Amino acid sequence: MRICVPTATAEGAKAVAYGHFGSAPHFTILDTVTGLYEIVDNADQHHAHGMCHPMSLLEGQKIDAVVCAGIGARALQRLNDGGVRVYRTIPATVEEIAVKIGSGELEEMTLESSCAGHGCH
C-alpha cells in the first residue's frame, strides 16, 4: 500500500501530519511493502480554498490512501474519483500513521466530514 501524508517537514518517518491536505508544504509518501519514503514538495500550497489540485500534484505516484487531519470536499471527491481512499488522523508522525492504518484504527473520511475551509480539523 502507498500512503500519502501531507506534512510540514520532509523528515520521512518522523514528519508530523499537517493540519490541512491542500496547504501542506510537503506530501510524504510511504510504501508499506518496501518501507521506502518519497517526498513531494507542494508547489501549490498557497491557494484559495477549493482551488488545490491534489491529483496533479500526486500524479504518477500511484497512491492508495491519503491520511490527513482535514481536507476540502472538492479535494476529497477528486481523490476518491481517482480511486484513493482518505482517512482522518490526529497529529501523528508518518511512522505512527502507518501503524494505525495497518491496524484499521483510522476513520475513512466522507464528504459530510470534509472541511468547509482551511484551518479545520
Q: Quote the CA–CA distance of 96 and 12 in Å, as a whole number.
A: 12
Encode 42-77: b = buried (16+ Cβ within 10 Å), e = exposed: beebeeebeebebeebbeeeebebbbbbbbbbbbbe
Residue 58, domain member (yes or no):
yes
Question: pLDDT tens track of the chain, all 121 residues?
Answer: 999 999 999 999 999 999 888 888 999 999 999 999 999 988 765 444 445 555 567 778 899 999 998 888 888 888 899 899 999 998 899 999 999 999 999 999 987 766 654 445 4
Q: What is the reported pTM? A: 0.84
Residue 94, domain member (yes or no):
yes
Work out how many domains the chain is built from and give that number: 1
Residue 114, domain member (yes or no):
no
Residue 48, domain member (yes or no):
yes
Cell of 110: 466522507
Give just the sign of the alpha carbon dihedral 45, 35, 106, 92.
negative
The domain in which residue 38 lies consists of 2-105
Q: What CATH number is attached to the domain comprising 98?
A: 3.30.420.130
Residue 59, domain member (yes or no):
yes
